[in-house]
A and B are shown apart, each in its own frame.
Chain A
Amino acid sequence: MINLESVDFTQNGKANHFATCDTCHWVNPFNPKIDNLCERCNSKLQQRKPLAFQKTLALTLCSIIAFFPANLYPIMTILQFGKGQGDTILSGTLYMFQNGMIPIAAIVFIASFIFPLAKIIGLIYLLYSVKFPSRISRRHRSHMYRYIEMFGPWSMLDVFVVAILVSLVEIGNVLEVVAGPGATAFGIMVLLSIFAAASFDSKMLWDERGTDER
C-alpha cells in the first residue's frame, strides 16, 4: 500500500518509485532491482514498456513495407462472363469518384488510404519527437497518439467490403466478384500498424528532455 503523504506530487510516478499496472491500472510501489508483481491482479509490472521505441519502430517499418503490396495488388476482381480486370484500392476508389459516388468514395479513400498513411507518419513523428525536440506540445502529442490508436480498426473497412461483395455478387457465370492477394497484404498491413501503435509507450513522451519543453 502507498502512503499518500510521502508522495512527491511535483515528480512523476517513475521518480516516486511507483508503477501503474498495465492490466488493471492499480498503482503499485515499484522496486527497480527485483521483478515486481501487481498487488491486485498478479501481472508483471513495468514502469515503461521495455524496448517500446525499438518495437514500435520495427513494426512501423514492417507496415510501411506491407503498404506497397497492399496498394499495388488487386484486392478484388469483377468478372463479367469470366473476364475482368483487378481493382486495387486506389483504382476502385477512383472508379467510384468518376461514377458520382463522391461521399462514399471519400469515406473509403480516407479509411483505407489516408488513415494507414497518417498512422505510419504519425508513429514515425512520435518516435522522432522522443529523441529530438518537437514543435508540438507533449499534451498534443499524447492526444495524437490516442487518435492513432483509435482509428486503427477503421482501415479494415475495405477488406470487409470485399468480403461482402465476394459473397453477394455471384450471378452464375454472368457476374462474379473474386478476392485478390491485395486483401491479404492489406489485412497484414492494418494488423502490423495496430500492433505498432500498441507497442508505443505514451509515457515516453513525458520522459525525454523534461526541462526544455511544455
Chain B
Amino acid sequence: MPYPVLKEGQQARCRQCRHIVLYRKPNPVNRSVAIAIAGLILSVPAIFLPIMSMKMFSINSTVSLSSAVYALWLNELYFVAVVTCFFCIFAPIGKLVIALILGLQIKMDQIKRNSYMPLIKFYQKIDSWEMLEVFMIGILVSIFKLRADADLFFDLGLVSYILFMLSIVALKLSFDKELLWNKVVIND
C-alpha cells in the first residue's frame, strides 16, 4: 500500500490516536553521513580519554567510559559490565557505522541488495538500546555526589563525550528509516 507522499519536513498522523505515523526529515542523507563521520571520530576520545579525575591525599584517579566498564568487570559484576558496554559503546558505534554505510550506499546510488536491508533491520534492533544520555546524567550525578568530599578535575574526555552524545542525538533527528525502507524495491 503506498504511503502518502510527503515533502521534507511534513508529517502524517494516526486518525485515531494522533500519533505521528510518518515524518519526513529535512535533508536526511547528507546530514546523517556528516553526523556519522563526526560521531565516529569523536567516539575514540569519548570512550578512552578520562572524563574526569579526582585528587585526594595527593593520589590521582581517573575515570573514562572504558575504565568504568572494566571496573565493573573487575568487581565481578559481569552481567552489568556487559550490558553497560553494549548500551554505551557498541550500540552507539553500531548506529553510527550503519548510518554511514547506508548513507554512502544511497549517495553513490549503489544499494547492495544483500547488505542494505539487514543493516536497516540491525539498526532498528539496537536503536532502543543506546543509552548515552542516561550515562551523561550518570556523570552529573556522580559529580554532585563527590563534589563535597574531593577535588574533581574535568578532562578533555568530558568534552569529547558530550560531543559524541550530541552526535547520536543529531543522528536520531536526521536519520530517516522510512526513507531508507522506501528505497527497497518491491517485487510483486
Binding site for B on A (CB under 8 A): 1-2, 4, 18, 23-28, 39-43, 96, 99, 101, 104, 107-108, 111, 138-139, 142-143, 146, 153-154, 156-172, 174-175, 178-179, 183-184, 187-188, 191, 194, 198, 206
Contact = CB atoms under 8 A, between A and B. Distances in A.
Contact of B63 (A26, A159, A164, A187): A164
Interface residues of B, number: 56
A24 B181 contact: yes
B19 A142 contact: yes
Interface in B55-105: 56-57, 59, 61-64, 67-72, 75, 77, 79-81, 83-84, 87-88
Closest 7 CB pairs of A and B: A160-B138, A167-B71, A168-B63, A27-B1, A2-B1, A163-B68, A179-B75
Nearest to B121: A23
Contact of A169 (B61, B121, B188): B61
A165 B72 CA distance: 10
Contacts of B145: 96, 101, 104, 161, 165
27 contacts: A23-B124, A43-B121, A96-B144, A101-B145, A104-B145, A138-B17, A146-B19, A153-B128, A153-B134, A154-B137, A157-B141, A160-B68, A161-B145, A165-B142, A166-B68, A166-B75, A167-B63, A167-B71, A168-B54, A169-B146, A170-B61, A171-B61, A174-B59, A178-B75, A183-B72, A183-B80, A198-B128
Contacts of A18: 1
Interface string B109-143: 00000000100110010001101001101111110
Contacts of A187: 79-80, 83
Contacts of B16: 139, 206
A41 B52 contact: no
Q: Chain A: interface secondary structure?
A: helix
Contacts of B5: none
A39 B124 CA distance: 19
Contacts of B81: 163
Contacts of A40: 181, 184, 186
Contacts of B108: none
A163 B146 CA distance: 14
Given A26-B181, A166-B71, A168-B53, 7 more contacts: A4-B1, A107-B137, A154-B134, A159-B80, A168-B146, A169-B54, A175-B56
A99 B149 CA distance: 12
A160 B135 contact: yes
B7 interface: no
A182 to B, nearest CB: 10
B13 to A, nearest CB: 12
B71 A174 contact: no
A178 B61 CA distance: 15
Nearest to A100: B148
Given A41-B184, A206-B16, A163 B72 contact: yes
Contacts of A1: 1, 188
Contacts of A43: 121
Contacts of B124: 23
A18 B120 CA distance: 23
A195 to B, nearest CB: 11
Contact of A172 (B59, B84, B131): B59
A4 B16 CA distance: 19
Contacts of B71: 163, 166-167, 179
